[in-house]
Amino acid sequence: MAFPEGFLWGGATAANQCEGGYNEGGRGLANVDVMPHGPERRAVGAGLRKMLDFEDGYYYPAQNAIDMYHRYREDIKLFGEMGFKTYRLSIGWTRIFPNGDEDEPNEEGLAFYEDLFRACHEQGIEPLVTITHFDLPIHLIKEYGGWRNRKLIDMYKKLVTVLFTRYKGLVKYWLTFNEINMILHLPFMGAGLVFEEGEDKQAIEYLAAHNELVASAWATKIGHEIDPENKIGCMLAAGTYYPYSCKPEDVRAAQLENQKNYFFVDVQSRGYYPAYALKMLERDGIDIGMTDEDKRVLAENTVDFISFSYYSTRCAADESTECERTQGNAFAGAKNPYLKASQWGWAIDPLGFRITLNDLWDRYQKPLFVVENGLGAKDVVEQDGSINDDYRIDYLRQHIAAMRDAITEDGVEMLGYTTWGPIDLVSAGTGEMSKRYGFIYVDRDDAGNGTLARSKKKSFDWYKKVIATNGEDLS
């Protein structure tokens, strides 16, 4: 058998991209709510255009998203029908603590997720919970400056204590921060950072990263103390950087880019700052405010497993190298001439998936959990209502085959695989609905029009078969 028994097949979503109900159930406002659809989204996400409230003339897709807040039972039933073993979802921080710094949590928010987890178990689905997926109370940004402020470590500790206590027995798999390395690319989205004129952006990003890393270690400690059964993982936006050529300067450029990403998991998995990061901080005069207690907490509370998203590999070139550059997604780089790209310019590289799996396994020797993979594509609804998304099936088939090879041929140890957006949801990068990843279609467009009705695409039955055969039948 290629995939181990008990392999956790499923799908992954994030609260702000699917729930909606932004002002219901006592929920407070979050950074992700105020990220508009349209050309300014990227600047807002990068912390370069300050937008901390809804402004006139913009459309904010997270306000209603795909209305999962009201439809989760119906949606989870469909996941159950596909045979999901796990469903990865995230907690909206502001449903639990609307401002982030209250003493008592909001019962309505806690009850919402409790029922959602129960709905999963009724379908035989193990929840996999991301504690924060690009999600931070606006109040903590306005009052404290987001994750640049150490006080957020305490707010986060309070949040996780409430979650681990309340959901003991209902949730076993946890991720502390989604794509923690996103701080370096979209710092408002990743850490609630907004930069003022003249600020040292890099210094603030690493300060915020340190605070998140320490908070993540505390969460691991608290989670294990409350329930030793808890398995707690980190989460990286992965995708190995290839050198554009074998020119040593290109190879070095790729090495540096890889280190920028590995830095986070190096700390979370090994428990200390790697030498190259310490040198960089020293060289650039960055003080992250490391205390002795931080060092101890980091060292004693490393993660149980490594989770990551994989959409594509990346390519790095030295500045002197002549090549086409791309800004396909949040990660800029050289354009790989050997690879085709998606409709949104993301390189498609199944072999790169196997390479990335090997790189992470070699480096950490801890079980890997792929918690995002998939193809964002435009779908066409035929006259009879059917959606023939063969391109999505092809993408997933090739990637699952590459993952199978990594397990059977290379000996990579894995816990599971969840595709991104098993149901169409709002794109984090662009705010669009038309960038669809789902097996389940949602009738909603980029401007928020549509009935929100759900329907199955061709890929629905295909993935169902993949899961039923534990990955044996990919045809």
- Both tokens of 475, joined, read 């045809």
Strand partners, 383: none
Q: Hey, what are 2's tokens? A: 């290629």
In terms of CB distance, is 83 or 421 closer to ligand BG6?
A: 421
CB nearest ligand BG6: which residue? 429
- Which residue type occupies 417? Y
What is the spatial distance between Cα 192 and Cα 187, in angstroms, rounded to a whole number?
A: 6
CB of 343 to ligand BG6, least distance (A): 11
Given 19, 257, 372, 432, which residue is catalytic?
372
Which is catalytic among the residues 126, 179, 205, 212? 179
Helices vs strands, H then E, count in the chain: 15, 14
Instruction: Give the DSSP H/E element, type plus range, for residue 237.
Output: strand 231-237
Other beta carbons within 10 angstroms of residue 263's beta carbon come to 21
> Which residues are at the interface with ligand BG6 (CB under 6 A)?
14, 17, 178-179, 237, 309, 372, 376, 420, 427-430, 435
Smaller CB separation from ligand BG6, 84 or 346? 346
DSSP-assigned beta bridge partners for residue 416: 8, 369
- Rounded least distance, CB 428 to ligand BG6, Å: 4
Residue number, 309 or 356, with CB nearest to ligand BG6: 309
In the complex, the smallest distance separating the C-beta of residue 309 from ligand BG6, rounded to whole angstroms, is 5
Minimum distance of ligand BG6 from residue 311's CB (angstroms): 7
DSSP state of 195: P
**Minimum CB distance to ligand BG6, residue 344 (Å):** 7
Structural element, H or E, at residue 118: helix 107-122
Q: What letter would DSSP give residue 137? A: B
Backbone angles phi, psi at 210, to 5 degrees: -60, -45
372 part of the active site:
yes
Per DSSP, the residues of 447-469 read TS-S---EEE-HHHHHHHHHHHT
Q: Rounded CA gap, 221 and 132, in Å?
A: 17
Looking at the Cβ atoms of 6 and 345, the one nearer to ligand BG6 is: 345
- Please say which residue, 19 or 318, places its beta carbon nearer to ligand BG6: 19
The catalytic residue positions are 179, 372
